[in-house]
Structure 1
Amino acid sequence: MARVLDQVSDTLLPRRYQEEIFVRAQQGNVIAALDTGSGKTFISTLLIKWIAARDVGHNNLIVFLVPKVALVQQQGEFIEKQTSLRVRQFSGATAHDMGDRDGWKTEFENADVFVMTGA
């Protein structure tokens, strides 16, 4: 367990409750209803790094959905800072037209994580 967390986070160390949520998320779907500032993004980033390390070589894309445009940049920058993954941010005007197949193909080929709004 400690070895996984050491690999997952070189900069920040999780608190006990963050570690517990991370472990549960590794085992299945989890909904974490925590106060602002309690580390939901950090827990998500731990999970993103774990999934990426587990699925190396599969060319999978991780999609991280956020409810507000302002969170796209905030979460995207945090994930970029805490990981070596290629993160792309999409919301409203920054997203490609759904019909732009070539543009989306390029994005898929050059990213590991999409951070985007759901609508």
Structure 2
Amino acid sequence: MLDSVFPPQDLSLLQRMIFIWVFIASGLVVTVQVSQSWADPRPRWTVVTPENKPYWYTYYTLVAFLFMQIAYGPLRWHLEGVLPWSLEVHVLDALWIGLLSLEACMLAYVFTLRISAALRRQEKVKEL
């Protein structure tokens, strides 16, 4: 499906390695956050509060998108004989486009939250 819209392009080795290392670093952040959830004096940055929940969820979606970006080629190769060709491509493309769309929506939501919070702060300062 994407091959008909975009020219077929595989990631170069350097691009794939960059994605893999960013995914590993992101996974380490998530691992530390989860491991600290049972600590008695829990570090403040690991707590998911209503204020920072959109940021953490956006980060988790980014990690899932990075995984899908890295695993797209190997998954397509692995599913080669399991599903009919058109179905395997459509399933993987739908997952990729869905995660990309979700990440874009979440980034727009977080950006809107930040702008609205900044505007509210400016209004409070003007009222004083």
Taking structure 1 as the reference length, the TM-score comes to 0.29
Q: Which has the higher strand share?
A: 1
Taking structure 2 as the reference length, the TM-score comes to 0.28
Q: Which has the higher helix share?
A: 2
